[in-house]
Each structure stands twice: as C-alpha cells, then as structure tokens.
Amino acid sequence: MAGGAGLPPAPQSQTMKLVKTVSSSGLYTLVVNETWCKGCRICVDLCPTHVLEMVEAPDRWEGAIVRVAQMDACNGCGICEVECPDFAISVYAPEKKKPVKAGETAK
C-alpha cells in the first residue's frame, strides 16, 4: 500500500471561542476557552471561592460547560488553571502567583 493511503483527512482548523471576564477591581481576569472545555466540572469543585458554575450545553461532551458566576470572588489563586485537564482556563493576575495544587494554600 502506498504511504499515506487510507489516512483520515487533516482536521479543519477550528475557531476557538474565548470568553474573558474581568473583576470589577480590574485585578483579575479569567479566560475560558469554551471550545476546549468539556464540562468535567473539576474547576467548579476545586475553586475555593465559588467563582465558577456549570451551565447546560447539550452540544458538549458532558452536556455542560463552565461559566464565571461571581468574578469578584476570584483571588487569582490559579487552581482552576492548574487543575483543568484541558487547559481551558487561564488566570491573569497583577502578580502572577505560584500556581497551587488542590489542598495547598495560595501565597
């Protein structure tokens, strides 16, 4: 068989949907990549200040997607960014803190 025969076509480029939310203080920003979020809710369960929530999204793998519910509760700890298995959340803070793992305390 000739090399390359039978290979699937190259994937089409996909436009990513990025949703940016900024705290009213302007100190913290969360960017959720809604294209990559699969709705596992790990970030919702690990966020220490309940910033995040799940909302229904029937087209999603788990039938849900993450949304920012109360941005002003965000302390920039970075847990959601570190623990998301799909790299779907980015945290921006004035002083980029050392990412913390679940169970550790943010410095």
Smallest separation (angstroms) from ligand SF4 to the CB of 31: 11
Site for ligand SF4 in 40-79 (CB under 6 A): 40-43, 47, 49, 51-52, 66, 74-79
23 touches ligand SF4 (CB under 6 A)? no
Spatial separation of the C-alpha atoms in residues 102 and 51, rounded to whole Å: 15
Task: Convert residues 82-101 into a mask of x (bound to ligand SF4 by CB under 6 A) and - (unbound).
Answer: --x-x-xx-x----------
- Confirm if 13 and 62 have CB atoms less than 8 A apart: no
Reported as half-sphere exposure (CB side, CA atoms, 13 A), residue 55 has a value of: 6
Cα separation, 49 vs 10, in Å, equals: 42
Token code pair at residue 30: 């969360």
Minimum distance of ligand SF4 from residue 39's CB (angstroms): 5
d(CA 79, CA 32): 14
Residues in the site for ligand SF4, rule: CB under 6 A? 30, 37-43, 47, 49, 51-52, 66, 74-80, 84, 86, 88-89, 91
